Each structure stands twice: as C-alpha cells, then as structure tokens.
Structure 1
Amino acid sequence: MTRTPDRKIRKAQTISPFGVGAIFDFKDESFIGIDVGRWPANARRIESPRLSQRVGTELAEAPAAGLPYLRFPRWLVCRKCTRMTEWHGSADGQAEEKAVPRCVHAGCNGTLIPIRFVMACKEGHLSDVPWQRWVHLDNAAPSGPDQANCDSRDLEFKARQGGGGSLASLYVKCCTCGRERSLERLMSPAGLKGIRCRGGQPWYARENRVECKETPEVVQRGATNLYSPIVESALDIPPESNYDPASAMAADIREHQIFTAIPPLLGTHGAHHPLVVQLAETVAEALVPTQIPDRPAAVMRMRNLVILVASDEGDSAPRIVADPEENLLLGEWQALTTRSDRNPHPLDRFQTEHTTLLERNVAAPPGGALEELDRLVDQVVLVRRLREVRALKAFTRLDGTTPVTVGRPGVGRIPRYMPAIEVYGEGVFITLKEDVLLTWIKANEGSILSRVGLLRQRMGSSTLNADVPAVTARFLVVHTLAHLLIRQFAFEAGYSASSLRERLYIAEPGPTGQGAMAGLLIYTAAGDRGGTLGGLVRLGEPGRLSGTFLNALAAGQWCSSDPVCGESTGQGMLGLNLAACHACTLVSETSCVHRNMLLDRTLLLGNATLTGGFFSEVLRRGMKEFMAVEEG
C-alpha cells in the first residue's frame, strides 16, 4: 500500500514565502498555493482593525486542518523511463492529495517528478511551458513532413552522455516523429520565439486564463524573482492593544478548533438547534476550569457566550470600508514616542518603557564617544511586548509592477478575507534627533546629494517605484543603521539574524516642520502568545545599548571587501546599494522590508571623500579613546 506523504508547511509560510500563487517544493513534488476563494469560509479571523481598514477586508489565518493546493507544474518527468506526462490529477485516477504520481506508460510505474522550468510574465501570469509545441517550433528545417505537422504530447526529457550539467546537455525529444530540441537557448530572449503568454493563473482551482500581450520568459520554478509577496503589517497600539477581559474571552472561544463549525450552523438552523447547542457546550467544557464551584452553571454561561460570539461571526457584521491612505506607521510612531500614564496590564499587547541611552545619573566623559552618541540619539524605548499582524495582500512576478491579488478577480469583488498571521514579541525602538539630522544634511549637502542622486536616478529608471520609499539621505541613514544594529544584536543576544526584523519610521518634515520621523524598531516575534524571552529588550537597557551601538558602528566601518565595497558606486539589485554588501551590511531577506536595497555605509560613517558621515565623529572619538587605552 502506498503511503500518502505528510506534506506540511508552517502557518507563517502561508504568508511568505509559500503564499497564494507561490510554488513550493516538497521532496519530489511541486505545488502552488491556491487562492483564498478555496479557503474555508469559517477560517479563524484575526483582529487588527487598522490593518483591516488598510487592506479593505477581514483577516484570517490558515486553518489547522490544512489548506487545499494544486500540483504545478503539470508537466512531469519519469525518473525511470524519462517520458514526460501532462498530469491532470483525479482525471488520471489519482487525486491531488494522494501519493506521489506514477508513470502511466506500460510496464514502467516510475516516480514522476516536476519539470524544472515554467513560463511566466511581468503581468503575474504563470503557465507550463507548452513543450509539445516548443519542441516542434525549432528553426531547423524538419527532415520530413511528419515532423512538420506533428503536435504529439508523447515526449521524453533526456540528457546527453558526457554533456556536463549545462542546459546544452538537456533536450526534449518527440517519441512520435523523432524531433528533438536542446534546452541550451530555452531561457534566452529568443527561447520562446513563436509562443505567446497564455495568461495562465493556475493558483485558481478552475484556472482563469486572460488575454495577455506581455512577452513570456522561461525561469526555473525555484527562481527568487518568480514570486515576490506584497505583505502589509501593523502593530497593535492603544487603545486596541489594551487588555479587555471580554475581548480576551471571545478570542479564546474563536481559537477553539471546534468553534469554526458553529457560525454556519447557527446561520442555517438557529441558536436552539441540538447540534449548535452540543458544539457550543463542547467548546465551553474545554474553556471552563475543572476546579471551580458550581461548574455546571459556569459551563452553561460559557455555552451561551459561545453562541453569542458565533452569532457575531455571521453576515450581519459591518462591512469594512477600505482606506488605502491609512498611515499605519504614523499611528505606531505616535504610540512609541508618547509616554503612557496608564498602568500596564500583563496581557496588554503593547507594553513600552521609555529609557535612556546612557545609565541614569551617570554623565558621559566630556569629549568622548558616548557624549557624541548621546547628542545624536533622541529616544530609546524598550518594547517589552508587542503583537504584529501580517497580511498577504498581493504578489508580483519577474520584478513586474502589476500586483496580483490573492482572491479571484471580478467586477466589484474583493476577497472575503486576506491570509494573515499574528506574532508576539519584543523590540528596541530608537529615534534620531531631528534638529541634529537636519543640520548634518545641510552642512554636507553637496556630498550627500551626489550619492543620493545616483540612487534616485537608478530608481527612476527601474520598475520598483511603487515598491520602495522615496530615496533621501534620511532614509539611507536610518535604514543602514537598522541593518548594522540587527547584525550586532544577533551577535550579542544570541538570536539568529533571520529572526530579527526591522520596522522603519521615516518621513520628511512638513512646511512648518511637523510630521517628521527618523526612527527604527528592531524586534523579534514568534507565533506563541507568550512572545519571546526578553533577550533583545535587555540589550536596550541603559548603559548596555550604548556599548552595542558603538560596536555596531565600529563593525560597519570595516568590510572584508574594502576598498572595493567602500568605493562602490553601485552594487546589489539594480545597483541600488552603494557602500554595502553581504560582508558588512546586508541581512537576511526576512529581516529587511526593502529587499536589502538602498543602503550606504558612507553616509552613516563617512570615508575619505565624505568625512562628515552622520556618526563619523562618534567613531573618531571612539578610536581616540581606544588608542589612549592601548598606549596607557
């Protein structure tokens, strides 16, 4: 008996990197995430009013019971006989969720594995390469009339003996007419000559093809540019983040695995239906502690509350009005920079403590590095507890600018909800002094503009304008500082670098100086409601953060790729980094919200031509103090 594979992904991966429309591999199989129209209607909702308003719909997480998926690409290759098969799932007698597909050619029964190549375009479409057509479109003249007219799907995917590992050693052969074609030029601009984009959208259960005039490209199914998720996220801030016993109890009820079955039954049969009452009582039994007086009465009260919460899940809930201009970061900035007089509850989802960079009642040595650092840094806030909700809004392909929504498109239709996850954690929030930053920009205007202008010019000629913020000196300084701190925090706190994330708060001042932001939040978060262990917050405590800060700046001053990196006028994706590379500044993709672009150590730390980096004086004084200690 063939065992069904135990295919699993984490809930967080349903947002990124394996969200709707993404290809993910599992051993010898390959699947594509299906649109939310096929997700369960009663999936557990995630409460985040500001984020829901921003995206215009409710948010829900992937159900614990699993998600539907589709096998993609459909063209598979037999490991045993090398024959190619266009798979049609249950039409071939095997359902999508069953065992690994087997070759149907007589006497073979070999394992079928997905072919490595797919066809995509910048409009977000994705299709199998039409192999039966491609192999017969070779420019070489056919050797006979049978080859010229053949459109057989009986193909082989073969490798030439001694051909090495290049594409030139691979070829597709038609078993009917004998025609064969090398894959050597398959991924070149002319590789699909004569083939148009098919407008494929295989992440829909019933594939919805559209007309498309874009030129398709062949890419490997694991290519990093094949899928770029567009994720919106928001932190809980007061008053929504404040603990409310009634809301907390309702959340516990919604999280019970049986609860999701109650709202649809309630809407169909009413609150007094025996099955509704039985399910509500099962949930109540699980939530009411066993060692309390008069437990039967408590269970009955809880049962009634379960039914009441379930009734709020129906269609009578008010429709969310989308507000794309909702400034999530501005609200968070105000919450982070404002001291609260409220006594925090241990279960508040947003707990902050305003502190100082240096130890209280201890003055920094006059003329020293700490004194200068304290002059540049404004606020330090320990975020002892936070809750973040991340929602998958759309995605793009091949660095295109056309976002594809996660729900099936239609006139006037929006998804009933968007995929989301909630995570809990901690962080350190740091702001720079606005007046000092403006003075520095004005004093070094010429040098700054030459570097910023270079990146602006490249950004203007790219297709990324809608995906990244305005290129300013303020942004480059804050973003680069965030990366250096992530690397140093990971080293000192023991977290893996990929578990730390940045959240940037950047805005230029308005006409009267209002609305300016220059801050960053370095945080870590996990799916457990208990959050994380506090190691990151400890690094932000007075006296400790200053040393970590200085170490981060000192580490950023030196790169193993210098002088090449330090003198670079463009590196990384589209040349959108200057003095920044993997050896000194870049972090993992999960940590950076801007895809490791728009970074420059020189603006932050200076070099031979720009001696006035924002933190240059801190480093100069620090080096002077170090040399004095060495000489002593």
Structure 2
Amino acid sequence: MEVHELKSKQWFTPVRFSHLTKHAGVGAVVRDQNDLLIFVKDTSTWPLKYLTKLHAVERVKRHLEITSDLMLPPQASIDGDSNLKIKGGTIPTLRFPNWTRCDNCNVLYFKPWANTNADISQKITCSSCSKGSLSQVTWCAVSSHGDLMDVPWHYICHRKSNTAAQQQCRHNTHEAYLKLELNERGRWEIHCKKCKATEQIDGTDFHHNTHKQPGLTERKPVGVDQITYTVMEVNDPRVFSAMSERALVIPPESNVDKESLVYKLMQQSQLVAAIKGAKRNLQKQREKKKAMRELKCTEEELFAALNEIDRDKSANNISFDDITSADMISDEFEALTTEQEFSSNADFITTHLTGEWQSYLQSIAESDGIRIESNLVDKLVAVNRLRVIEVYKGFQRAASDVDEFDPIPTVNPDFTGSIGWLPAVELFGEGIFFTLNHTCLEKWEEQALIRLRASEIETRYQDSEIALPDEATPTSRFILLHTIAHAFIRELETLAGYPAASLQERIYSSSEGKMAGILIYTAVPDIAGSLGGIVGQAKPSRFMRLLDAVFRQIEWCSMDPVCNDIEGQGPSWLNRAACHGCVLIPDTSCSYNNVFLDRVFIKGKPEEGIPPLREFVSK
C-alpha cells in the first residue's frame, strides 16, 4: 500500500499505486480520507531511499522514448492503529486550497489551521459567527502553462472598484472580511464586508507575472510578461490531466529470472552502493554481511553476483540499440502471435489455442445457429500472465486562453529539474488475444463506401483538438477492431464477472504489417495478478459463446434508429453508430478516449449500400 503524507499534523492517506499515474499523480488536487483537499508534491520531494528502480524495462523505455530511470513510488505501512507509526516511505502532500469558508456565514479565512492546535481530523469553528464549521473552498486558479495557485479573493473582489472606499480597501489575510456565497441566480459571488465591493467569480480570468505551484517559490515566466490564470473549481477536468503511457514487457526482458541473486541485487541498489562506497575494509565487511543477511546468500554467491553486475553481462542488459518508439505495437504483436517456451516465473506467458479453435470450428461447422463471423477469428491466444509498465510523464492544465494552434505544455513530475528519473508502476494481469483474418479484412476494406465513412472521421479528427497515441489512426480497420474490442469488454463484464472499468484494451492495426489483433486484459499493481477469469474465457467453446454475444450486441442498440443513423456523436463527432446504449465503455478502460467507434462497420447498412462484415468472411 502506498501512502500520501500530510506532514503538518502527521496524517497519512492510503492511495493505490495505479492511481499515482492518473488522478492522484504529481500536481493533482485530491480529497483524502479525512475529507481534506491536498496537493501531491513533485518527485524532487519524494524520499529517494525508499524508491525502487525498475529493471528489465529497457525495451519499454525505448518504445516510450524515455532515457531516464523508472522508479517505483515509495511503499509504506502503518505500524499500529493508535500511534500512526509509518514503516517505509511516503509521498509528501500539503493542504490546498489554503482558503476556507464558514458553512454558516460564508466568511473566508486564510490558513486557519496555522493558529490552532486542533487535530487534523477536527473541524475548526468560525470565529465570526461561532456557529459554523470551516471547510476548504473548492476553487483554485490555473494557467495553461501548468500553474496552480490560490484564488486571489481580495483582488477578484476589488478589481472593478468604482468608489474611493473600495479602491482604498487593503488586503489582509489575518482579517475575516470576505464572503463567498451564491446569489439569487445561483452564481457564486465574492463580497467585501468592509467596502461593499462584490464580483462574480465563475470563469473569471486575471493576469499574474509569475509561475506558481503550491509550496514552491514563484518563478518569472520566460518570453512573456504576464500569465493568464482562470478561476475554476478543483474538480474541473481542466485543472489536472495526467499524461501517462503504457507498454507491455515482452521477451526477452520478460524472461529475466527474478529469483536470481543478480536481479535481487539490482533491485536492492542501495546495498550495492553501500558495498562499493565503503572506504575501509571493516566498513565493507559490515555492508557485505548486511547484504548476505537480507539476500540470504553466501559470500561467494554475493561476490559472483557483484562481479556479474560489474561485467555488465546480466540477463537484464540486453542490447536494444535498434528499437524505436514506432516498433512498440508491431513488437508486441509479434510477441503475442509467436509460440515459444516460457519459464514458470516469466512476466509474459501465453498459451496458443489456435489449433484447438480451428478444430472446434470444424466440429461445429454443420451446427445450426453458428455465426459465420466466427470464421473471421484467425489466431486465439490465452495470455496467462503479463506485466504492464505505466509511466507517469507529467500533467497538463488548461486555462481559458488555450490556443487551439498552440499545444498545451506538459509539466514534468519534477518541478525543480534536479532529478533524472520518472515515476512508474508495474501492473500484473492476464488477458485474451485474438486476430482477425487479414484476407477477409482486405476484401472488406476495398469497399468505397467503407473507406469514405472512415475518411470522414479522419477529417474530423484532423480538425479536432484531441490528441491520441500514434497507433490510433482512424482507418476503417482500426475503427472496426476498436468497436469489436469495446463490445468484448461489455460482454466480459457479464460472462467473466469483471467490472468493465477493470478491463483494458490494446489494438494492433496495420494494413502494411498485416496486423489485425485485439488484446483485452486486466492488470493490477500486485505481483499475484488476477484470478484467471479472463483466461478461462479463451477456451474455444466459451470463446464461441462470447463471440456470438458480441456480434449480437453490435447489431442492435436500445437507442436505434437514432444511434444507427446519426451523422456523428461523441467528442468532435468522432463516433458514428456508437453510444452508451451499445459500445461505449468507461473512459478508464478505453485507451483512445472512447472515439473511433462505429457499429455500421460490422453490421453494415444495406439501405446505404454498406455491406455487413459477414459477407466477406469465408465459410
């Protein structure tokens, strides 16, 4: 269990590892278990001695264009329920926003906890009315440069001052004279009790001449005199958008023996550093004995492992000089479609069921009710074990001055620029992988109306502000595969008992490389992975039932005929016949923003001359 730490009163909040690359990453404002809003501090403040370097990920780094080391976040546990002693390392946070509001009289206070000895879990009573309790305001100010700051309430309230008294009213954080409340029209307003100034705050912009992040010294901007900040609620999606990427660990790195002493030493880099950094023989002997105790090895075994690391010939040091980011999808596709032997502790284990699938199809060929689309599936593979590395590359914020022609910059997890690593998590799980017959797809792709329908979505994508991974190109093949993948996830929720939000997709699509594959998997931040519920669905008889349910689902939607006939829906109209009634899934499960979906590509639309996919499948 990972723990966020609120140091001012020593309050600790547990957070899932997988959340640290999403909504609870560096730069995010999250609500802790004590109902406080807290800001996750940058990686330069993380306790280095509790970080663990990820090994056997060189190909992943090449694929994701990363040169920095990848480090697992610190792990911690609570020792005892009463004294809150923490074992391990925690990620520092701080309370943000710093302003609070009385739930009775609406008066604002700045950092009221600084002048009280109350426990962090106790509410602070308003000193103005002596009735209400103080809670943090849910408003902040952000810029499209990634900045975040408290709303300057006094300035917002008085910036349109039109009387002498209002113009002379001075800012004083030690005095409770501002009120934040809803007006008769349900809009938020800030009022000054001293000079009677008032101003609405919804969507308010203002300028500031420095970059800001909570807890950091202000920085002067480069190239501009002023930065535009926008006032918005902390739960507005524009306040924080995590930038993270995933890649599978595939052979040969997935075959690294994690039980070997060399690998264990590489994971315990502080032990190696202590041994090599010892300047006196007595100190070196002490560090060696410590390593021998922790690793449960002899001195000879320790020496041999250290020498192997020094020679740089460990199994982890495989050369990937010719690997580029463009190879990621094709390399994963090759690993998934290639039969090979795996060790029992490998991070990537597949069982190829293509032969069993083809035999099963032949055995039921004469049966009534068998869908012809089942012949479309070429290869069937059970992915018994997989390891996914998810890297947190930073975050973005968006103010109202965002220029559609000027991309929003990404803020690195290290605000100070003083460290050379990125936070990452490793997820373990299982899945089903299958490919579609390339010959059938080529015949289908030749249809002019199908190409035209895909090109319309591609044009809309080029005119939109949406940015997706490079492999997500709205070709007819990708849209077809993506729609089928979504239907599979929705059906697996019923047949395998997994919530749709816990499933992930990976699309392998390329006409040139003859790729047409779908990987549906679940992965959790635990070495044990999942329980085999998805792999069990790869058994040919079960997969047939799943496939039949998928294609039946695609043919009909509760929103038809509207869903079927609509010209466009979803973000930037990048979907056609696809809605929440048929193939949309939770955003956390879709790698492509829930766009590039269209059921017509599978079921056809005869009234417009678009044939169904089944017409191109060999019997």
TM-score, normalised to structure 2's length?
0.82
User: 1:79, CA displacement in angstroms?
Assistant: 4.0
| Cα pair 2:262 2:309 within 8 Å, conserved | no
User: 1:38, CA displacement in angstroms?
Assistant: 1.9
Deviations 1:57-88 (A, max 9, x none): 11111101210123322333244653323449
**What's the counterpart of residue 445 of structure 2?**
441
**What's the counterpart of residue 147 of structure 1?**
166
Determine if the alignment matches structure 1 residue 479 to structure 2 residue 482: yes
Counting only pairs closer than 5 Å after superposition, residues 422-441 of structure 1 correspond to structure 2 as: 422-441=426-445
Determine if the alignment matches structure 1 residue 17 to structure 2 residue 23: yes
Deviations 1:233-271 (A, max 9, x none): 12111111114266x44444566xxx5754665565448
Counting only pairs closer than 5 Å after superposition, residues 187-586 of structure 1 correspond to structure 2 as: 187=203, 191-192=204-205, 195-196=206-207, 200-202=211-213, 205-208=216-219, 210=221, 215-244=228-257, 248-252=260-264, 259=268, 262=271, 265-266=274-275, 269-270=278-279, 272=281, 274=283, 281=289, 284-285=292-293, 287-288=295-296, 298=297, 300=299, 325-340=325-340, 342=341, 344-356=342-354, 357-360=357-360, 362-365=362-365, 370=370, 372-398=372-398, 401-408=407-414, 415-442=419-446, 444-445=447-448, 447-465=449-467, 467=469, 469-509=472-512, 515-586=513-584
Once residues 288 and 134 of structure 2 are traced to their aligned partners in structure 1, the CA distance between those partners, rounded to angstroms, is 46
| Cα pair 2:179 2:192 within 8 Å, conserved | no
Counterpart of 1:13, as a letter, is H
| Cα pair 1:566 1:579 within 8 Å, conserved | yes
* Structure with the bigger percentage of strand: 2
| Cα pair 2:605 2:612 within 8 Å, conserved | no
Once residues 133 and 306 of structure 2 are traced to their aligned partners in structure 1, the CA distance between those partners, rounded to angstroms, is 50
User: 1:114, CA displacement in angstroms?
Assistant: 2.5
Identity %: 25
Once residues 273 and 23 of structure 1 are traced to their aligned partners in structure 2, the CA distance between those partners, rounded to angstroms, is 49
Once residues 378 and 575 of structure 2 are traced to their aligned partners in structure 1, the CA distance between those partners, rounded to angstroms, is 27
Among candidates 95, 106, 111, match of residue 82 of structure 1: 106
| Cα pair 1:35 1:203 within 8 Å, conserved | no
| Cα pair 1:355 1:380 within 8 Å, conserved | yes
User: In 2 relative to 1, CA 546–419 (structure 1 residues): closer, same or farther, beyond 3 Å?
Assistant: same
Among candidates 155, 161, 182, match of residue 200 of structure 2: 182
Once residues 485 and 44 of structure 2 are traced to their aligned partners in structure 1, the CA distance between those partners, rounded to angstroms, is 38
User: Residue 423 of structure 2: SS of its match in structure 1?
Assistant: strand
Among candidates 35, 39, 45, match of residue 32 of structure 1: 39
User: 1:119, CA displacement in angstroms?
Assistant: 2.2
User: In 2 relative to 1, CA 111–4 (structure 1 residues): closer, same or farther, beyond 3 Å?
Assistant: farther
User: In 2 relative to 1, CA 523–614 (structure 1 residues): closer, same or farther, beyond 3 Å?
Assistant: farther
| Cα pair 2:257 2:263 within 8 Å, conserved | no
User: 1:505, CA displacement in angstroms?
Assistant: 1.2
| Cα pair 2:440 2:616 within 8 Å, conserved | no
User: 1:528, CA displacement in angstroms?
Assistant: 2.1
Once residues 234 and 81 of structure 1 are traced to their aligned partners in structure 2, the CA distance between those partners, rounded to angstroms, is 52
User: In 2 relative to 1, CA 279–219 (structure 1 residues): closer, same or farther, beyond 3 Å?
Assistant: farther
Deviations 1:3-44 (A, max 9, x none): 753322112111112111222112431122222222233410
Counterpart of 1:60, as a letter, is M
Among candidates 103, 106, 115, match of residue 137 of structure 2: 115
User: Residue 591 of structure 2: SS of its match in structure 1?
Assistant: coil
User: 1:438, CA displacement in angstroms?
Assistant: 1.5
User: In 2 relative to 1, CA 568–388 (structure 1 residues): closer, same or farther, beyond 3 Å?
Assistant: same
| Cα pair 2:208 2:228 within 8 Å, conserved | yes
Once residues 612 and 279 of structure 2 are traced to their aligned partners in structure 1, the CA distance between those partners, rounded to angstroms, is 66
Note the residue ranges of structure 2 that are not aligned, 5 or more in a row: 1-7, 76-88
User: Residue 17 of structure 1: SS of its match in structure 2?
Assistant: coil
How many pairs were matched up?
A: 576
User: 1:526, CA displacement in angstroms?
Assistant: 1.8
Counterpart of 1:336, as a letter, is L
User: In 2 relative to 1, CA 199–3 (structure 1 residues): closer, same or farther, beyond 3 Å?
Assistant: closer
Deviations 1:129-173 (A, max 9, x none): 2221111123xx63x302023242444334358x4xx642x3212
Deviations 1:521-567 (A, max 9, x none): 00111222222211101101112212101101111222222222222
User: In 2 relative to 1, CA 581–250 (structure 1 residues): closer, same or farther, beyond 3 Å?
Assistant: farther
User: Residue 8 of structure 1: SS of its match in structure 2?
Assistant: strand
| Cα pair 2:101 2:180 within 8 Å, conserved | no
Once residues 127 and 419 of structure 1 are traced to their aligned partners in structure 2, the CA distance between those partners, rounded to angstroms, is 24
User: Residue 217 of structure 1: SS of its match in structure 2?
Assistant: strand
**What's the counterpart of residue 4 of structure 2?**
none
User: Residue 12 of structure 2: SS of its match in structure 1?
Assistant: coil
